[in-house]
Structure 1
Amino acid sequence: MSISNPVYKTVALVVAGGRGARAGDAHDTPKQYRALAAKPLLARTLEAFLNMERVDAVLPVIGGDHHEMFSAMGLSHPKLLEPVSGGTTRQLSCLAGLEALEPYAPDFVLIHDGARPIVEESVVGAVLDALETADGAIPATLVTDTIKRSLDGKTIGGTEDRTQLFAAQTPQGFRFSRILGAHRKAVTMTDGFTDDAAVAEWANLKIVLAQGSTRNIKVTLAEDFPRAERILAGDRTMETRIGTGYDVHAFAEGKEVILGNVAIPHDAALKGHSDADVVLHALSDALYGALAEGDIGHHFPPSDPQWKGADSRLFLAHAAERVRARGGRIVNLDCTVICEAPRINPHVMAMRERIAEIAGIAVSRVAVKATTSEQLGFTGRREGIAAQAMASIELPGDDT
């Protein structure tokens, strides 16, 4: 006895198989899995559709090597279908998703960019309403800027009539059988179409415009993350906060020191309850200071044996997460290491990369410098290492 598939009228197909290199991610994590206001961007996109009454199911299309990252998001919902692997281009990924939906044979499919996390129910409703009399419908907004044409990128060749120009968004809605057929034919010709409306136009389907939203932005560049976070926060005015941190640890017997989560060979180690990483300790305290949320000792008491020998990346990751949890973002981190030895400069880039990865920000927002104390004081006597740090963050202005 065979078990039939559920009957779905409308399915949202969320395409999220790319790498998002233009977002400038420091640790090579695809942008859709980076945190947006304390939650993975893709999780926000999927949850938006999962919570919509007119959407019966949601199918993610992800990269072939993204399944572990997808699972790590911990999403669970009766409407959420098992993700399918996409192709090497957006067009191929869409086709893979549509083929996976064929057994369900929905009436309508909404094809959406995974990098558009602020999709509103009113936009989806407008698209679905328009589908009652068309093969497809796309949300769009009027182009308000004056558009110039240039063949060489230097000289203006003309001015477009902006009254006839619209900025296309997603989700783009279609009658399922017709867009599946169009995609199957199009892929025999090219896989270079950049959106599904272009595939539908090529197939001579009737596509109409529906009302889009200026909030429905696509997170493409690094600066789009804070912009999206401001929208999610209700466009509240952001204020800048500054915090400072200082830490020092004495030398003990050993063969390496841990600084900025990087192991540096030395004739001694640093003594401490955790791994004694003065760089991450100072940076963590700087972030906690900017938040006015105490210090490392407050969040991770040294009296608690579970933190003995702990990797200090836990502290910095927690401090960075606290910033995101309050709707804020880290603007930059700056740390100065003070010691006579070991030499720090050969390891600065590795330290910056590790710090950026842990904090979830671009390497360009992290500075690490080193200096000596001219043989004065305990660092001058080579008794230990000190670090000073500063962090600047943005928080919603009405944050309490």
Structure 2
Amino acid sequence: MIFTMILAGGKGNRMGNKDIPKQFLILGDKPIIIHTIEKFLLFNEINEVIALCPKEWLIHTKNLLHKHCIPESRVTVVEGGDTRHRTIQKGISFLQDHRNASSNDIIITHDAVRPFVSYRIIKENIEQCVAHGAVDTVIPATDTIVRSEDGRTLNEIPPRQELYQGQTPQSFRIGTIIDSYRSLESQEIEMATDAAKIALLNGKDVYIVIGESTNLKITTPSDLLFANAILKEGVVK
């Protein structure tokens, strides 16, 4: 089976709006999270979408799904955790406890605030995860990346052709990501930026799907302005 986890646990402080998390802000004529969920509902091979939200926003999320005619048979709203990793782990526990998910089943993890993920990116995540067990979506770095240990002086300028910027989805066989989480101490887990890093720390090979510049993460007011421009122009397929 194939499941999607929409990671919607963030509070959106960088958006400057403390009253509503960024995933519930309106993009065009509907909330960002609805745009995102709808992208995954295009795939019949995805058995279920799990939207992982803050506890205080569970009812609001369910109401939004109903308002936008998204069937309960395809999307389930579940309480997330207080960090990205705890949210993913809660999602895995839900699938194991309530969906009898096996180690060979696949989870596609995706940021709720990346509403422009394309059909191709999702399709290639599924295909590559079936083949390899762990996948990350990335785009080649266009700017020179520098490394500084103290924030004052440069330590290294790595070759740009070897560098990529991470996006989502990140997709895993459930057994692969469970083994990775279990192999690490809690401090190591919290220091890792995302689930792909967790898999790497456990010695897993993580394969690449090339993303797209339009697959942006909406985290600031300027991002939301840009996203509305993308939506208006209809440049994402």
The 3 A distance-change label for structure 1 pair 152 and 189 is closer
Q: Is the 8 A contact 1:169 1:216 kept in 2?
A: yes
Q: Is the 8 A contact 1:89 1:191 kept in 2?
A: no
Q: Is the 8 A contact 2:108 2:169 kept in 1?
A: yes
Matched letter for residue 94 of structure 2: A
Work out whether 1:181 is the aligned partner of 2:179. yes
CA–CA distance in structure 1, aligned partners of residues 153 and 187 of structure 2: 34
Q: Is the 8 A contact 1:23 1:31 kept in 2?
A: yes
Matched letter for residue 205 of structure 1: K
Larger relative helix fraction: 2
CA–CA distance in structure 1, aligned partners of residues 163 and 197 of structure 2: 15
- CA offset digits 1:221-270 (Å, max 9, x no partner): 1110011111112268xxxxxxxxxxxxxxxxxxxxxxxxxxxxxxxxxx
1:105 corresponds to which residue?
101
- CA offset digits 1:29-63 (Å, max 9, x no partner): 11111111121111111111112233221001111
**Aligned residue runs from structure 1 range 332-371, under 5 A:** none
SS of equivalent to 1:92: helix
2:141 corresponds to which residue?
143
CA–CA distance in structure 2, aligned partners of residues 187 and 44 of structure 1: 36
- CA offset digits 1:172-223 (Å, max 9, x no partner): 1111222123234436454413211011112222211112111111011111
- CA offset digits 1:158-179 (Å, max 9, x no partner): 3221111111111111112221
SS of equivalent to 2:208: strand
CA–CA distance in structure 1, aligned partners of residues 202 and 221 of structure 2: 35
Any stretches of 5+ residues in structure 2 without a counterpart? none
Matched letter for residue 84 of structure 1: V
Work out whether 1:231 is the aligned partner of 2:223. no
Q: Is the 8 A contact 1:14 1:46 kept in 2?
A: yes
1:135 CA displacement = 2.0
Larger relative strand fraction: 1
The counterpart of 2:76, out of the listed 71, 82, 90, is 82
- CA offset digits 1:121-140 (Å, max 9, x no partner): 10011112212331201111
2:19 corresponds to which residue?
28
Q: Considering only aligned residues, what root-mean-square deviation do their CA atoms show, in Å?
A: 1.9
1:154 CA displacement = 3.2
Q: Is the 8 A contact 2:189 2:198 kept in 1?
A: no
2:2 corresponds to which residue?
10
1:199 corresponds to which residue?
198
1:101 CA displacement = 1.0
CA–CA distance in structure 2, aligned partners of residues 136 and 202 of structure 1: 13
2:132 corresponds to which residue?
134
Any stretches of 5+ residues in structure 1 without a counterpart? 1-8, 237-400
Work out whether 1:155 is the aligned partner of 2:153. yes
Q: Is the 8 A contact 1:99 1:180 kept in 2?
A: no
CA–CA distance in structure 1, aligned partners of residues 185 and 226 of structure 2: 35
Number of residues paired by the alignment? 227
Matched letter for residue 134 of structure 2: G
The 3 A distance-change label for structure 1 pair 196 and 224 is same
